[in-house]
Amino acid sequence: MRRLGTIAGPVLLALALWQAVVVLTGVPSFLLPAPARVAVTLWTSRALLAEHALTTAAEVLIGLFLGAALGFCAAVLMAASPPARAVLRPMLVFSQAVPVFALAPLLTLWLGYGLWSKVAMALLIIFFPVTSAFFDALMRTPPGWTGLAQVMGASPARLMWHVRIPAALPGFASGLRLAAVYAPIGAIIGEWVGASNGLGYLMLLANGRAKIDLMFAALIVLAVFALLLHAAVDAACNRALRGRT
């Protein structure tokens, strides 16, 4: 209840400022519709918005799962093997030197206009924060823990699985929290480049038909989904970490 009150305050303030701008400036509705008009559109177009939101949610969730899994494996491989680290770490940095958004047309060309080009975009955006945060945590395992495990005769594999990975889980959780914020960005960019469904596609379609209220409605649905996703991932990470303490 306290968290709900914390969120409701800024939301109500933003709506009040939005309404004030519309009333005081007299801006045309095709540039900035009033909050009430957007609310009506949210209700009357709820079926259309839900259909497109399900597509975007599927793209984001699949991309988040795959990106987190690949980031986990890549971080463990780099931490366990200096040769793999020498190869993968420069590639990881280079992947961020090239704007990921610029790859969206290529991914659409290679993977088509369907689900997987958007999943790939989300995966590429998610992969770096998860891998980077988890790798840094793996490399900062308390020396006393590793020393005690080595004295007890732990093999490198057992040391990694039973000591270094559990100690680095807070870093992995931090990467997942960032990934939950970034994942919708990749999916929406992919939908803007080429799609036949999804909230990004719906926003472009509404903008082209001058249905700005529908565009704002789709944007609000996307924002709510992103906030709920981040809250769910944050709650899951906190619960998992509490279970290990």
Cα separation, 210 vs 215, in Å, equals: 9
- What mean pLDDT comes out for the span 147-175? 85
Domain 56-242 - what CATH class?
mainly alpha
Cα separation, 190 vs 59, in Å, equals: 10
Residues 55 and 113 sit within 8 Å (Cβ to Cβ)? no
Residue 4 pLDDT more than 60?
Answer: no
pLDDT per residue over 165-206, tens digit each? Answer: 999 999 999 999 999 998 999 899 989 888 889 999 999 999
Report how many helices (DSSP H) and strands (DSSP E) the chain contains, helices first.
11, 0
Q: How many residues does the chain have?
A: 245
Res 2: pLDDT:
55
- Residues near 51 by beta carbon (within 8 Å), at least 6 away in sequence: 197
Q: How far apart are the first and last CA of the chain?
A: 26
Residues 124 and 186 sit within 8 Å (Cβ to Cβ)? yes
pLDDT per residue over 90-107, tens digit each? Answer: 888 887 777 777 888 888
The DSSP 8-state label assigned to residue 161 in this structure reads: I
CA-based nearest residue to 161, from 176, 149, 179, 147: 149
pLDDT per residue over 77-87, tens digit each? Answer: 999 998 989 88
Q: Which amino acid is at 1?
A: M
| Ranges of each domain in the chain | 56-242
Res 153: pLDDT:
73
Residues 172 and 73 sit within 8 Å (Cβ to Cβ)? no
Query: Range with the lowest mean pLDDT among 60-64, 122-126, 133-137?
Result: 122-126
